[in-house]
Amino acid sequence: MTPKKKLESRKSPSRKPWSGRFRSPTDPDVEAFTSSIEVDRRLYLHDIAGSLAHCLTLERAGLLTLREATRLAKGLKQVKREIADGRFRFAPGQEDIHMAIESRLTEIVGEVGGKLHTGRSRNDQVSLDLRLYLRDALGDLIARLRKFQQSLVTVARRELGTVMPGYTHLQRAQPVLFAHHLLAYVEMAERDKGRLRDALTRMNVLPLGSGALAGTNYPMDRAYTARLLNFPAISENSLDAVSDRDFVVETLAALSLIMVHASRLSEELVLWSSEEFGFVELPDAVCTGSSMMPHKKNPDVPELIRGKTGRVYGHLVSLLTILKGLPLTYNRDLQEDKSAVFDALDTVQASIGMLIKTVEGLTVQRQALAAAASSGFLLATELADYLVLKG
């Protein structure tokens, strides 16, 4: 089989759309420092979807002929195929995914490729791309949380008659059902899904048409664009639209709370699987051994989930710190939002996936739980209540 050939730009990567007012080229070290292509290349599907909608809007406004719009649409779809099958080469000098796609599109369709950016800035374009991406990503995460809930409910149903000690201050307090304990995490996940849906309502606003900051003079039908991209609302203030990253902060806050809950369950699994508790046994598939102590079975997966929680918190604090001192409107500082939210999303998706595997393979030690619930005067409260009611 012939290996796929990487498609490389024939144009100099140093040539930028904005380079006309500069007398000397950008320093290569500066290019490397300012480039975000390694991070934002994952936006390519959403960038192309936004460009296809913008292309149709330009044609509707009479700024593109039908022939030009058709040519651009075909070119964009070709770029999408090239990236998807790995033939697209991202050149080091390309600043971001938007310029990479536009450069290749112009190679394919010729000068008409330059018309696609009419009435659009990278400022409103990146805001659109990020909203589209997060809209899909949060939908995927909600589905994964639902699967996590199902795994907990499955074990809870299996253990309906299993009694365990309930704890306060990590001291045995009152007997509860093991199923009841697991279902507490189902409730937490339900709130997590609600927060993600809530974030989606404010995220689901079309920023395109805001231009760099002051809108556009072209007769763009923003309502038409919104319908094409399935946005129920349109941004009303162009200054806010291009600089707003509240929706990213809200996403990171929701992700942080998901990790709070994942970490709490992980901590309990670490405790319960220890010889000191012996309440559960974790599946071998999610544990590792020791290079020195052959008897060890280490709960690495829940420990790592517990550890990665701080990583997600860090991304939230990082973005809040970036945003706190930014004047209106767009500032390059905002480039840092994507690495934060992308890594946080990847971490949470992976962590919930690992919890599903762990819960599904859990072995509950019913006798150990029953023995722990039967000692230590756990029914003292019920006895006192009985005496009070008896008078």
- Mean pLDDT confidence for 158-180: 96
- pLDDT level of residue 206 (50, 70, 90 thresholds): very high
Query: Regarding the domain with residue range 123-382, which homologous superfamily does it belong to in the CATH classification?
Result: Fumarase/aspartase (Central domain) (1.20.200.10)
Active-site residue list: 169, 290
* pLDDT of 22 strictly over 90: no
Give the mean pLDDT of 225-238. 98
More confident site: 341 or 13: 341
- Domain 19-118, CATH class in plain words: mainly alpha
How far apart, in whole angstroms, are the C-alpha atoms of residue 377 and residue 384?
11
d(CA 248, CA 254): 10
d(CA 197, CA 141): 11
Q: Give the residue-averaged pLDDT of 34-44.
A: 92
H/E segment holding residue 136: helix 122-158
Q: 174: which strand partners?
A: 166
pLDDT at 258 over 60: yes
* Nearest to 183, CA basis, from 161, 163, 155: 155
Arithmetic mean of pLDDT, 106-110: 96
Phi-psi region of 159 (alpha: psi -120 to 50; beta: other; left: phi over 0): alpha
Does residue 8 carry a pLDDT above 70? no
The alpha carbon of 59 is separated from its chain's Cα centroid by a whole number of angstroms, namely: 33
Q: How far apart are CA 343 and CA 308, in angstroms?
A: 11
Q: Give residue 30's pLDDT band: very low, low, confident or very high (50, 70, 90).
A: confident
What is the reported pLDDT for 375? 87
Tell me: the pLDDT tens digits for 329-352?
Answer: 999 999 999 999 999 999 999 999
Query: What residue ranges do the domains of the chain occupy?
Result: 19-118, 123-382
- Report strand pairing: 171-177 vs 163-168: antiparallel
- The C-alpha atoms of residue 170 and residue 181 are separated, in whole angstroms, by 14
The yes-or-no verdict on residue 151 having pLDDT over 50 is yes
| CB 79, CB 104: distance < 8 Å | yes
CB 196 within 8 Å of CB 143: no
pLDDT at residue 27 in the model: 78
Write down the mean pLDDT value for the chain: 93
Write down the pTM of the prediction: 0.91
Greatest Cα-to-Cα distance within the chain, rounded to the nearest angstrom: 95
| Model pLDDT, residue 13 | 45
Kindly report which listed range (13-17, 103-107, 120-124) carries the lowest average pLDDT score: 13-17
Listed range (21-35, 141-155, 203-217, 373-387) with the worst mean pLDDT:
21-35
- pLDDT tens digits along 277-320: 999 999 999 988 878 888 888 999 999 999 999 999 999 999 99
- Name the percent of the chain lying above pLDDT 70: 94
pLDDT recorded at residue 163: 98
Question: Where residue 184 falls among pLDDT bands split at 50, 70, 90?
Answer: very high
For residue 24, give the DSSP letter: S
The Cα–Cα gap between 286 and 297 comes to 10
Listing DSSP states for 353-383 in one string gives: HHHHHHHHT-EE-HHHHHHHHTSSSTTHHHH
Check pLDDT > 70 for residue 10: no
Residue 4: band (very low, low, confident or very high) from pLDDT cuts 50, 70, 90: very low
Which of the four pLDDT bands, split at 50, 70 and 90, describes residue 182? very high
Q: Which of 18-22, 76-80, 226-230, 377-381 has the lowest mean pLDDT?
A: 18-22
Query: Does the pLDDT of residue 3 top 60, yes or no?
Result: no
The gap between the terminal CA atoms of the chain, to the nearest Å, is: 88
Rounded mean pLDDT, 13-41: 75
Q: What is the pLDDT of residues 232-242, one digit of tens each?
A: 999 999 999 99
